[in-house]
Chain A
Amino acid sequence: MKQFADLFNAIDQSTRTTVKVSALTDYFQSAPKEDRIWTIAIFSGRRPKRAVTTTRLREWGAEVAGIPLWLFEEAYPIVGDLAETIALVLPPAATHTDLGLSHWINALRGISQAEEEDRKAFVLDAWASLDPTQRFLFNKLLTGGFRIGVSQKLMTRALARATGREEPEMAHRLMGDWDPASTTWEQLILEDDPAAAASRPYPFYLAYALEGEPENLGAPTDWQAEWKWDGIRGQVILRGGEHFVWSRGEELMTDRFPELARIRDFLPDGTVLDGELLAWGDGVPQNFNALQKRIGRKTVPKALLRDAPVILYAYDLLEWGGVDYRQVPLAERRATLEKLCETLPTDAPVKLSPTVAFDHWDALAEIRATARDAQAEGLMLKRRDSPYLTGRKKGDWWKWKLDPLTIDAVMIYAQSGHGRRANLFTDFTFAVWNGNDLVPFTKAYSGLTDEEFRKITAWVKKNTQQRFGPVRQVTPEHVFEIAFEGIQASPRHKSGVALRFPRMSRWRHDKPIQEANSLDDLNQMLEIYG
């Protein structure tokens, strides 16, 4: 695993894209092919099944390190990563081996059904023979979940360089649910394979947030406006007599949304649609809450299917008549999409997401202000003559979201962060006034600069009133503006409300705590926006 460890170190040590891409390119040219496949799989989130529970790993790690379990459990949140905590507490390796990445993965797959005693012996042997980085990586394979700063974009760039092919082709080949255990380097990267190609989605085109005023984009006639929906971005594929539903996170969700199967009755093979998966009711999109009940469910109870049926609100056509349609200008793609949606019955699980007509940017700004009434989170602006690009690219698609809702709140609890933010206080609980009491209503973790996190960390250390495990109650002294995207009634929370995407938008040094908002203010927002 040394070669993989070297690759990992090269990527992990650097923040520079060029360094990462060149390390990956070298690796994809020189590593054993079966290791290359597993590397692609791991870096794109296709991890082997977890062979050992994390509970056992903690126990075995503490045992081998000769420390009590409670001490291990105290160290873990400070380090912020289980695999790393174990790698650090273990005594130095007694022997050294250099077996390849795929050897270790196959060995792990082999023991997943073994007796616990045998699994333990295997893990302890591995720990005793691996150097610290390899041990960390081995633990990562055990626990799943590699997050190491390699984006899909960097990996496809490196693969394109290593093979002399085009980046979009590589991006397309990596999509879909291929299985690293049964896929070869040749199959995945080099050969044409019609069967695998059938289910394969196109890489999504992702928009950047609009910077500044839309006037800077030029003439309104060059642009198409649509509502920006608050659902799940999805791609629906009809090929080979089957249909496939993909999320933007490259998750195959066909079985989660059985109501979409009827699409096959209305649309021909060789069609690929891009759109938003939304819960639909009373002839309009429902808010995200209705959809949330469906997320994470592998099977869907009938009642949910009836109460919150899901549709694809289609806004783009990526393949038509079996032909890749992405280079066709948006205006033409849209015209074809509209025509094919005209033929759909009103109860079909695909509907056309309407465009928003406007003559002037000022008029559009007024329309945008009403987005919440339309159950939308803002507008999308798309250049009419643009092709459908791959990944996040600036220029042709912009999201122009509503300004978030905000409320001024008092910080009352602080907890230190994990991983990259270990030893800084980054996780805070905020409260609003209810009479003379401060009622906690949300947590927030992001939005401050590193410098501000350092300042608040120093302050928390000096102003801790009480500790509850890792949580510190601090003197109510600082007011923060909390920005959020939505508000819902929630009986599970003391305050009775739950916020969507809360974050700290501003540190209100100018405000004394008496001027923070109240629970009444929150309830008013709930009435208006909930």
Chain B
Amino acid sequence: MSALTFTPAGIYCPAGDFYIDPWRPVARALITHGHADHARSGMGAYMATDIAAPVMRHRLGDIDIDTVRYGEVRQIGGARVSFHPAGHVPGSAQIRVEVAGEVWVASGDYKRMDDGLSTPFEPVRCHHFITESTFGLPVFRWQPQDEIAQQINGWWRDCAQAGKTAFLGCYALGKAQRLMSMLDPQIGPILTHTAIENTNQVMRGQGITLPDTVRAGPDLVPKDHPGAIVLAPPSALGSAWARKFGTQETGFASGWMALRGIRRRRAGDRGFVISDHADWSDLLATITETEAENIYVTHGYTEIFTRYLNENGWNARVLETEFGGEEIEEDAA
């Protein structure tokens, strides 16, 4: 029997009797990272990295969670299990499972670019590799983080000089903190929507260094913070709360901003192309580096990416999951 199998509840390890990122309630769940489509509520027991756990507790409440460090090996039943950096968000992991010499890696979501906050991705050799394909098309090619930082800071500076508030839409966990650390604090104050600031607090509490921010709660008086940039979940842009800040421009930071059509539909004034997922060439480089022969393609452009892999010598197949990838319409949670 395979070390990992695919069931209606999620990716399952019979030898260890546990699931990886299951989408139905199960007794034991190993979690790659804290995003809602991977870390769901209702599991009997959780296991995640020590860096991912605080945000999971914050999001899922009082859960039974066992933490591991990157690289630490655990024996669970007949399976040897270890967590390795995925570079997606702080604490995110690829989960390596070895049963009777057969090695599988479930990579969750990952990126190869060093974002300065997450532990950088490390390729793990395996026989079977489960990969995402959120941006698994050759039209996606990320620019270096410094270049995007210059674009965002340039836009913020222009807004500040024109007396406008810059609103930057981004996801509360991961993307927001990465963007904050790219901002130039000399331009002005960084304000954060409550959903983002709550996550900031959790991260600061576990020793992750983030720039100074001001919580933009109900009592905040916008005119006390001239030249500010406000980081907020996409759903909060244009809301009554956002309108309090007077004249403003809105930007949106996502890998989807690479496509002009989506940028024009979704971005307000500006779209910045920055993603916590691997682009086309990094997906291929990663799959090559794992030396795996069998590739299972989960969320994203699964059919197209799988066909390309099969034409290029891999044994690839599509795996239907309930993972969401980088959804462009994520709610404030």
Contacts and interface: CB of A to CB of B under 8 A. Distances in A.
Interface stretch (B55-63, B118-126, B265-273): B265-273
Contacts of B303: 467
Given A12-B260, A14-B269, A79-B259, A423 B138 contact: no
Contacts of A67: 138
A275 B311 CA distance: 60
A421 B138 contact: no
The majority secondary structure among interface residues of chain A is: helix
A232 to B, nearest CB: 30
B40 interface: no
Interface stretch (A80-88, A154-162, A264-272): A80-88
Contacts, number: 67
A124 interface: no
B264 A71 contact: no
A185 B134 CA distance: 48
A418 B259 CA distance: 11
B266 to A, nearest CB: 9
Interface string B138-163: 11110000000000000000000000
Contact of B268 (A15, A423, A454): A15
B256 interface: yes
Given A14-B269, A15-B269, A78-B137, A423 B260 contact: no
Interface residues on B, range: 20 to 34
A300 interface: no
A425 to B, nearest CB: 13
B261 A81 contact: yes
B329 interface: yes
A421 B262 CA distance: 7
Interface string A477-519: 0000000000000000000000000000000000000000000
Nearest to A136: B260
Contacts of A419: 260-261
B308 A71 contact: yes
Nearest to B271: A13
A218 interface: no
A421 B137 contact: no
B141 A13 contact: no
A75 B256 contact: no
A81 B264 CA distance: 13
A12 B267 CA distance: 11
Interface in A27-85: 65, 67-68, 70-72, 74-75, 78-81, 84-85
A454 B267 CA distance: 16
A65 B258 CA distance: 17
B137 A423 contact: no
A74 B138 CA distance: 10
Given A419-B261, A421-B261, A423-B262, A75 B269 contact: no
Contacts of B139: 75, 78-79, 85, 88-89
A13 B251 CA distance: 10
A369 interface: no
Contact of B137 (A70, A75, A149, A467): A75
B304 interface: yes
Contact of B138 (A12, A89, A149, A450): A89
A65 B264 contact: no
Contacts of A422: 259, 261-262
Most A CB within 10 A of own CB, among B139, B268, B303: B139
A72 B304 CA distance: 10
Given A75-B137, A88-B139, 11 more contacts: A13-B267, A13-B269, A68-B308, A68-B311, A71-B308, A74-B137, A79-B261, A85-B139, A88-B258, A422-B259, A423-B328
Interface of A: 12-16, 65, 67-68, 70-72, 74-75, 78-81, 84-85, 88-89, 136, 149, 418-423, 450, 454, 467
